Structures are given as structure tokens and as C-alpha cells.
Amino acid sequence: MTFSLFLAYILGSIPTAVWIGRIFYDTDVREYGSGNAGATNTFRVLGKRAGIPVLIIDALKGFLAVQLVHWFAEEPISTAAYVNYQLALGICAVIGHIFPLFAGFRGGKGIATLLGIMLAIHLPGALLAMSVFLVVFLLTKFVSLSSMTAALSFPFVIVLIFHTSVPSLIVFSMFIAVLVLITHQKNIERLVRREESKANISIRNLIRQVGEDD
């Protein structure tokens, strides 16, 4: 089990934003914007062509880390133990993203990676939380506020709507909400001061960009 957790950490440590920025734009995104090596700051600093791949790959890191359970879990295993193993792998991937081995332990906030974990462990709840994100984002254009709202909604979604009974999953959903609030402390302060930047991203612009790329 220890080896699988280490692999999950290594997978999470892939500094997507840093590598894409340096290789294709000769830019370290951590030196600009919010200073984070995540999808949001990549969108802000380098634009959609860099931000979209970073978002997808960072989410895949969390998703694939959870899938390691299929290689390393010993059979038979109870449902609760299986979920616990998945959560442990996912948490290691998030730690890797926030403190990446391959980028001087200066990473991002782990939002996209958390999304990948949520999709792998509880797809319906994750999709509903994503819907909350989209609604808030379309109304406000604040990625930070949308992320926090979606994260805070996740525990209520899986408990009140999907009636989840696995204690570790409920605790994890609360952990997500708390972690997102902690990592977005500066964003909260800027929102209170009305200094938070709005993202210049819309569904129409994304569709137009995809059309232009094709």
C-alpha cells in the first residue's frame, strides 16, 4: 500500500502548469498573477490555449491516482475499505499537486486535482457540484467564488441528495470544503475588498476558440 500511495503522490507532483508554461511559453506561471501553478492562474497568465490543457491534465492526475486502487487493492475488500483506499490515494495526489516534487514543492491549490478525485469516487455528486460551479461562475465570473461554492456544496450533495453512508467519504467531502476555503484565503480577502479579478472566460468564447483551433 505504501508504494501505491507514493505513486499517487508522484502522479500528483507532475507540475502541468509549470512545464507547459516553460516549454511552450518560456514562462513560469508562478512568477505572475496569483503565483500558483494551477489552471486558474494559467488561464490568467497564458490564456485559454494553455489553461484548458492544464485543467484537464490536473484533473486527470486526481482521477488516475484513484484508479491505482484497481492495481493494488487486495481482494476481497469491503466497500468502506475500498473507498478509504481510494481517498488515501486521492489525498496523496493532492499533496503532490500542492507540494510537487518536480517543481521545488511550489504547486497549485489542488482544485482541478480534487475535481478528478471527486469524479472518480462519486461521479453523480461531482457532476452536481460542477453544475453549482458553472451557475455561480456564469453569474459572477469569479473562479475563486465558484470553486468555493462548489466545494461547500459537495458535502450537502452527497449526504442530503445521494444519502451517502460511508463515513470516510462524508469526512472527505468536508475536508474538501475546508481545504478549498484555506487555500483561497487571499481570494476571500480580495473578494471582501472587491479587488478579485474576474475571469475573461465564457461558454461562447470557449466554443469560438475550439472552432478556431479546428
Q: Cell for 26?
A: 518560456
**Residue 120 CB burial class (10 angstroms; 0-12, 13-18, ≥19):** buried
- Least confident window among 31-35, 36-40, 41-45, 202-206: 202-206
Q: What is the mean pLDDT of the chain?
A: 88
**Sequence ranges of the domains in the chain:** 2-213
- pTM score, two decimals? 0.80
Each residue's pLDDT tens digit, 137-177: 999 988 889 989 999 999 999 999 999 888 889 998 998 89
Q: Across the chain, how many H-helices and E-strands are there? A: 12, 0
